[in-house]
A = this chain, B = another copy of it.
Amino acid sequence: MTDNDQGDDAPRDSLFEAPLEAEQERMVEAILFATAEPISIPELNARLPHGCDAERALDALRRRYEGRGVAVVRVGEAWAIRTAPDLGYLMQKETVETRKLSRAAIEMLAIIAYHQPVTRAEIEEIRGVSVSRGTIDQLLEMEWIRFGRRKMTPGRPVTFVVTQDFLDHFGLETARDLPGLRDLRASGLLESRPPPDRDTGGDEDDEGDDQNEMFED
């Protein structure tokens, strides 16, 4: 009876004392291995025993897997394990046929990624043609884009932003890591510049701010 009582007390202690760091690393490893989806740090912390520090464990784990056949990668605000890209040729069996995107869809995806949050009118202005409903639907369905918050401009139009799935698919840690983003910004090509025959009010600044917020470093 007494022994039993002590046995019951033991796990109780662990509720108040966090597991060792090496143990926390094992736990994060197990959780990340179990899923194909990226997992956020709050979600990890929720699943780890009380007192664990998922962020630190992740850091250790990431270093451990450096140069291995799989890697711990960051996807937006979440983390996942992915095979090393140089070994892709071994995975022919696992290759997923992705639906071929039209040129228009690819262009629109790039515009949304580099200009987010961006309205439909802005996409049309950049491409010089009207946006087809089907193309937006396709990107939404693939969950590569989603609706962002509305713009603070007249009509409060909805905006589009890229998703975590998009980052995951293209192996991007954050939207800031988009190829060539820095150069584009430096050359002013991402600035919202309305045609000169229209009123150039203060709206322009707001839009600029929105964008900056999105890509804040």
**Hey, which bits of chain A sit against chain B, CB under 8 A?**
1, 6, 9-10, 25-31, 33-36, 46-48, 67-70, 81, 83-84, 87, 89-94, 213-214
A215 to chain B, nearest CB (A): 11
The answer to whether B31 touches A90, judged by C-beta atoms less than 8 angstroms apart, is yes
Question: Within the oligomer, what is the number of copies of this chain?
Answer: 2
- Can you name 13 A-B residue pairings with CB atoms under 8 Å? A1-B92, A1-B214, A6-B90, A9-B92, A10-B89, A26-B68, A27-B69, A29-B70, A31-B69, A33-B33, A34-B91, A35-B94, A47-B92
User: In terms of DSSP, what is the predominant structure of the interface of chain A?
Assistant: helix
**A94 CA / B32 CA spacing, docked (Å):** 11
A14 to chain B, nearest CB (A): 10
Residues of B contacting A35 with CB < 8 Å? 93-94
Whether B70 pairs with A30 at a CB distance below 8 angstroms is yes
Contact status of A68 and B31, CB under 8 A, knowing A36-B94, A89-B9, A214-B1: no
